[in-house]
Chains A and B, each alone.
Chain A
Amino acid sequence: MQLAATWVMGTTPPASSRDAVQADERDALSSLVARVRDGDTAAFERLYRVTRDDVYAVLFKLLGPSPDLDDVFQEAWIQLLSAIRRFREESRFSTFAWRVCANVALKHLRTRRRRPEDLVAELPEPAAPGGTPHDSAQAKEAQALVHAALELLSPKKRVVFVYAELMEMRLDEIAEAVDAPLNTVRSRLLNARAEFPQALAEVQRLHRSRRPVHGAP
């Protein structure tokens, strides 16, 4: 069976076909996972190729454009390979993979809390407003600002917020992915939703203060 490249949340299929697609993907992934547990290297390679981009995207959303992202990505796969023996298919493989990603990302995030001034200093130079040639630069800048704002959330709130808002996961899925009670997840999300706009505004204010004034020498 041909697995969809976005096998979980990357692009959400229409609601009518989503369940069917997910069921098919789940069966195919289950088969691959079972073979990996039996030591099938080819099955792992197939599993890796199919899910690599999604795992990378999740880690990118969780950690931002970090120079350590490749290392974290490899660490996530090492952890995933170790933990796959314990995966009993009681949940979807995607949830299992997000759980591993959350653990690895949390471990990484805890070691690199930074101040907003430092974060802004690392951002690219502010792009001049308007104009098509600058569109990609502006998008990149906006993306960097969002990640800088995410960096100001606590690691646990950040993971929940990213899973809820950027990956559109349901609360129960997030609770399973982060191994926390549902109400804890709800509480973290509530706080993160309150904090994120403020953090974003703060980062944008600091960033604007660095914007070069036109006509200045």
Chain B
Amino acid sequence: MAPHESERIWDLARGRLAGAGAETVRAHVAACPECAEAFAAAQSAVEAMRDLAPPPRAPNEWKAVDDAVLQHARARLEAGPLQRLGERLSDLFTPRWTIAAAVAAAVLVGLVLWRPEPPAPRMTPSPSVALRPPPNVPLAPDAPESAQGDSVAHAGPEDAQGDALAHAGPEDARVAQVIAAVHASSDADDSLSQGARVQTHKNGEAVLRLPEGSAVDLRADSSATLAALSPQEIRLQVDRGELVVAATHRDARTFEVVAGDATVRVVGTRFAVSRTLNGAIVRVTEGKVRVTAHVEETFVSGGEELTVTPTTTRKRTLGEDIQRSLAPVIAKLEGIIQPMPKVPDAPDAPAPRTEIGSKPSQSTSAQAQARAAPDAGTIAGTSLPSATSSNDSATAEKATAHPGSDADEWALPPLGTTADAGTRNAPTTANPTTRDAGQPWINGAVDNMKKWLAVDWNAPFPPVGMTMVEYRVRQMEHLADAGRCKPVLKRADAWVAEFVTKAATPPDPELHRTVELTRARCLEKLGRVDEAKKVRARWP
């Protein structure tokens, strides 16, 4: 039996129907055995419920109850302001609300402290961490070579176990600069020049700045070869693991990353290339890359990933979790990349001096330091002394590796300083608003807080400062934007119906208009153009 039939039958049984309406229902009941049975049941129920008034009570029976209620009321109403305040507070802290508040507080604390990417051991500050600040030391172009910052951190005989590399030499236009490296090593002897191979251990990481200003992050347990390294051509070969790239925009430069069968060509973008057992995965977070594999080219845009196997390529949307995991790395690299003021036209032209080897203006130097020092300094959780950018450091010709507390680990002091733990731990003057690249969990917490502060359109309650009525309207708009039109139509009906049936006051005209226009938008999307027109006609 349909609900409306049941309603009508009960109305008839209660005598609420009269005239033609009653006759129609009676005729229907006569023709429908099921309805007749329901009508008989309803009639007997109504008959049984005819008199359910409470038995009359004598005044003396009321006395005890009246006295109790009135006595309580007097005590409550005649209470002083402090007592009233206490009662109001006790009303507020009912067990239900107390539990709700406790749960909300726990969730908030959890959101703030939850670390989606727990800090990997490679980022843990330790004496094994090797830091190399970007050489902000202004060097005279015609200065003797020995004074041009031929500062090479020698891994020495312990190179096989050396945890840090730092290079910046006279041929710095053709070498990669190690901004920070933890548990990383290179098979090149002293400098990361063309052909050098960089490896990171399971808990290691190496951040490099390439000669043309781009920055790369060789992730843990990875290996890459710097196959070509010049301002005109960068070619990196990922032998194992993952390489994250933040490439600067250069028209006159080719930038390639080779991983297995895949060759990735970029102009200016942010992406990651992972070498897998049987191929490669290219994940692009920003910009566009061109991937050549199996003699065919595929463009991969921001928010996409391409999986290359020995026989096929498959493109799909980049997962949010991967984007989240790449975000802090990309942010770190973006603080390192440097635009190149000028790129030589011909490969054979003399290598121009970059900021690394040339003598920039003081402001440039200061900017470079402001940009790079905090990142480099905090990558490993230690700080760089401000002396690294002073002219005094120009005299620092060689940085010497200093053994750390552990025999297997050693750390490099910043240029121009001694390897003194106190100076290494000196506080930076980094802008407090910048993200702390060395503390990914803090960044994660900040991200979480931002997400928490952002409106969660799936939440059953509105954000602070928004009424429930308005929140529901905004939810509808949000759903309509996302193309989920059928729920919008249902919600719009419910929203309007609720005001008609429940609310004592009419809805806010602007909100009502928004609801109707959202409804019209959805009707159009669903192809119900005529209905949409009618709605728009009512709400011009």
Residues of A within 8 A of B (CB): 36, 39-41, 44-45, 48, 52, 56-57, 60-61, 65, 70, 73-74, 77-78, 81-82, 85, 90-91, 139, 142-143, 145-147, 149, 165-166, 171-172, 175-176, 181-182, 186, 190, 193-194, 196-198, 200-201
- Given known A77-B69, A190-B3, contact A41–B77 (CB-CB < 8 A): yes
**B positions within 8 Å CB-CB of A:** 3, 6-7, 10, 14, 41-42, 44-46, 48-49, 51-55, 62, 64-66, 68-70, 72-74, 76-78, 87-88, 91, 494, 497-498, 501-502, 504-505
A81 close to B73 (CB less than 8 A): yes
Smallest distance from the beta carbon of B92 to chain A beta carbons, Å?
A: 11
Determine whether the beta carbon of A48 is less than 8 Å from that of B48. no
Distance (Å) between the CB of A147 and the closest chain B CB?
8
B48 touches A145 (CB 8 A): yes
Shortest A170–chain B CB gap in Å is 9
* Across-interface contacts of B48 in A (CB, < 8 A): 142, 145-146, 149, 200
Chain B residues in 8 Å Cβ range of A143: 51-52
> Total contacts A to B, CB within 8 angstroms?
99
Q: How far, in angstroms, from A125 to B396 measured CA to CA in the complex?
A: 109
Lowest 7 A-B CB distances belong to which pairs?
A: A197-B41, A60-B54, A172-B501, A90-B504, A77-B69, A39-B77, A197-B45
Q: What residues on B are CB-neighbors of A182 within 8 Å?
A: 497-498, 501-502
Q: Is the interface of B mostly helix, strand, loop or mixed?
A: helix
**B-side contacts of A181, CB under 8 Å:** 494, 498
Q: Are the C-beta atoms of A57 and B54 separated by less than 8 Å?
A: yes
Partner pick for A45 among B52, B64, B70, CB 8 A cutoff = B70
CA distance A48 to B48 in the complex (A): 31
- Identify the closest chain A residue to B91 (Cβ): A82
Contact of B42 among A40, A147, A171, A197 (CB under 8 A): A197
Residues from chain A with a CB closer than 8 A to the CB of B66 are: 48, 52
18 contacts between A and B (CB under 8 A): A40-B77, A44-B77, A45-B73, A48-B69, A48-B70, A56-B54, A74-B69, A77-B69, A77-B72, A77-B73, A81-B77, A82-B91, A143-B51, A165-B49, A176-B502, A182-B497, A182-B501, A193-B42
B11 nearest CB across to chain A (Å): 11
| A178 shortest CB reach to chain B, Å | 12
User: Residue on A with the closest CB to B49?
Assistant: A146
Which one of A41, A91, A171 lies within 8 Å of B74 (CB-CB)? A41
Partner of B502, one of A78, A85, A175: A175
Residue of A nearest to B44 (CB): A197
**A53 smallest CB distance to B (angstroms):** 9
Whole-angstrom distance between the Cβ of B66 and the nearest chain A Cβ: 8
Q: Find chain A residues with CB under 8 A from B504 CB.
A: 90-91
The reply to whether A48 and B73 contact each other, CB–CB distance below 8 Å, is: yes
- Shortest A179–chain B CB gap in Å is 10
Chain B's nearest CB lies how many Å from the CB of A120?
15
Residues of A within 8 A of B46 (CB): 165
CB distance from B426 to the nearest CB of A (A): 58
Q: Which residues of A contact B505 (CB under 8 A)?
A: 90
Known A39-B78, A45-B70, A48-B70: A194·B6 in contact at CB below 8 Å:
yes
